[in-house]
Amino acid sequence: MAGYSDRIHHALAFAAKHHDQQVRKGLRAPYFTQPANLAIILTRYGQDDTTVIAGILHQVVDDFSRNGLSREQLEERLGGKFGSGVLDLLITIVARKLDDDGVELSPDERRDDVLARLASAPEGARWVCAADALHSASSLAADLRRTVDADAVWARVAVGREATLRWYRRVLDQLSAAGFAAPVMAELAAAVQELEGL
């Protein structure tokens, strides 16, 4: 198998710099493990460079968007480096701070908005969304399997156990309803079911 392309290496370096001081909540593990794992998942399923790079930069764009950067500002920061195709994929699946009328969305409204936009999202964006949910759900399940205190694991999840389980189930269901039947969906379904059973 060939190694990653120069574009993917550049995206990994960019994400590593962005996430340099970030760690997983409640752990000392570097946050950068998430974009690196998304690259592995997407590559394992044979996705093209644009989709893999979108996976790597997913949280970067989410962070920028949450901080209020406009599409034009995102284009300035990322478009020239990675191509507008990457940004086009990500814009459809990152949580927006404001709705189309400029009204600030609540956290619940942001999640609902992301799910609603999945219905018309391009295939690559759905791949990124599925890979992100797969990695997050699998990581959480692994943490729960390794601990004797499940409550401590759930305590570091910002929205709590029930909302987290509901989120993963809703992502899986919405991707299915949108007709996304890629092979990654079987793995995502198994991860969600395992998490619900823990």
Q: Say if residue 193's pLDDT is above 60.
A: yes
CB 98 within 8 A of CB 131: no
Which amino acid appears at position 9 of this protein? Answer: H
pLDDT tens per residue, range 37-69: 999 999 999 999 999 999 999 988 888 877 777
DSSP 8-state code for residue 180: -
- CB-CB neighbours of 107 under 10 Å: 11
Does the predicted TM-score (pTM) go above 0.85? yes
Alpha helices in 19-160 (DSSP H): 33-44, 49-66, 71-74, 80-82, 84-91, 107-118, 123-146, 150-155
Beta bridge partners of 30: 23
- Domains for the chain: give ranges and CATH numbers: 6-197 (1.10.3210.10)
pLDDT tens per residue, range 134-177: 999 999 999 888 888 888 888 888 778 899 999 999 999 999 99
